[in-house]
Amino acid sequence: MIVMKLKGIRNSVFLMVPALVFICSCGINQPSGNEIMDRAFARHGGEYLKNLEIDFKFRDFKYEAKIVDGEFAFQQRTPVSFSNVSEGGKVRKFSQSDTKSVFHFALLPYNVNDKLANKELMCTSKIKGKDYYKVEVTFDKNGGGTDFEDVYIYWVHKEDFTIDYLAYSFYINGGGVRFREAYNQREVNGVRFQDYINYTIDEDYPAQELDYAFQTGRLREISRIDLDEIEVVRK
């Protein structure tokens, strides 16, 4: 199994900011980005996310993970094969697909609570008539992994502190951005899980402004991120 502290997939790309009119509010008495994401972490499972075992199915693949005192170990089971890779004198197993990315989204906001994560409140915005804190998350260069320049944006409900939307940008396969809308929210043994509608946009666009593009009908759905057969054992 891969043993690590999950940092997630935090790829980004520098995009030209289009000229647009987008109104958001920023108040002097707003909570900090850290405070908001701490509340979101608690709402999605909090301390339970630090010690648990989880199994779920995603697109015909079975996944399993274990978190013990914040140390994260995971593997993707059948039907994919694994190759052995030596790291620091230890043999570890890596799947051929991006298993880490699957767990990143399945266990949000677990990785956002990492001490290397920098959380900045951008503003508050309104989506579908609901008010949200808009938080940008980046990671330290020293110790933040090879993707320290990557950026995520989270829209956190101002009353419930649930992460209902998120966005990110990436370099691979020519680069681009993604916007995800949560649905089918449910709790399994105290841990909140969500499925996502995955959107993109066919033009250069900053991830930070994808809420505007979403509300003006400029995004295109490309997939659904659905988790099935979820089992959680709290330790």
Q: For 40-92, how does the pLDDT look when each residue is reduced to its tens digit (9 = 90+)?
A: 999 999 888 888 899 999 988 888 888 888 787 877 775 544 433 333 333 33
Residue with structure tokens 């701490």?
Answer: 38
Average pLDDT over residues 205-222: 95
Q: Is the model's pLDDT at 93 over the cut of 50?
A: no
Q: Label residue 165 by pLDDT band (50, 70, 90).
A: very high
Chain centroid to Cα 125, Å, comes to 19
Write down the pLDDT at residue 149. Answer: 63
Q: Is the model's pLDDT at 19 over the cut of 80?
A: no
Write down the pLDDT at residue 25. Answer: 56
Selected residue with higher pLDDT from 212 and 26: 212
Q: Is the model's pLDDT at 97 over the cut of 50?
A: no
Q: Is the model's pLDDT at 118 over the cut of 80?
A: yes
Instruction: Give the pLDDT confidence of 122-155 residue by residue, as tens digits.
Output: 988 999 999 999 999 988 766 445 455 678 999 9
Query: In this predicted structure, which of 5-9, 25-29, 105-109, 146-150 has the lowest mean pLDDT?
Result: 5-9
In the chain, pLDDT over 90 holds for what percent of residues? 46
Distance between CA 28 and CA 100 in Å, rounded?
38
Query: In this predicted structure, which of 59-73, 150-164, 209-223 has the lowest mean pLDDT?
Result: 59-73
Q: Label residue 223 by pLDDT band (50, 70, 90).
A: very high
Distance between CA 99 and CA 95 in Å, rounded?
7
Distance between CA 201 and CA 219 in Å, rounded?
5
Q: Is the model's pLDDT at 221 over the cut of 90?
A: yes
Query: What does the chain look like in DSSP terms, one character per residue?
Result: -EEE-----------PPPP-----B--TTPPPHHHHHHHHHHHTTGGGGGSEEEEEEETTEEEEEEEETTEEEEEE-TTS-EEEEEETTEEEEEESS-HHHHHHHHTTTTGGGSTTEEEEEEEEEEETTEEEEEEEEEE-TTTS-TTTT--EEEEEETTT--EEEEEEEE-GGG-EEEEEEEEEEEEETTEEEEEEEEEE-SS---GGGHHHHHHTT--EEEEEE--EEEEEEE-
In the chain, pLDDT over 70 holds for what percent of residues? 73
Q: Is the model's pLDDT at 170 over the cut of 60?
A: yes
Write down the pLDDT at residue 24. Answer: 53
Q: Which residues pair with 76 in a beta bridge?
A: 63
